[in-house]
Structure 1
Amino acid sequence: MKKIDVVELYITKRIDVLQRENGEYQIHKKEINELKEVLDVIAKTRTVRCGKTLTKINGFDVDKLIKHTTSYL
């Protein structure tokens, strides 16, 4: 598996766990929204890649974003 696939899988599972724990108080709403934004960036990287190494999307440094996201693992 590629690193980005592992990150995407982790984020998806983390969102599922947080949504189950969320309950009616919506205590994890901010974290869930941030994780969904990361998934959006991952989706954009897939659509933008055209055989070249992608380094930036909409001003985001993809390598830094991946390192920041994987630091939660």
Structure 2
Amino acid sequence: MDEEARHHWTLIRTPVGIDWSGRSRYAAAMYFYQKGEMSAEVLEVYRICSRLDAEDPLSVLRRWNIGKDWIGKMTAEDN
């Protein structure tokens, strides 16, 4: 993994509740979408959550039962 990808993995994991965290996660989500690693449907959840710093996009994806591949990728990266 190169330095830019590492940087975006850090951003996509910005903790919920921090000021501007939703926007940081969305910026990283756009990077992963452009790289073909995230679907448009998942990107849309990150867009919706971008103004909601206290909302965890992964929780929304789980509630809406979408983005299983992305959730799996996030879980795998945590291990």
TM-score, with length taken from structure 1: 0.40
Q: Greater CA radius of gyration, 1 or 2?
A: 1
Structure (1 or 2) with the greater strand fraction: 1
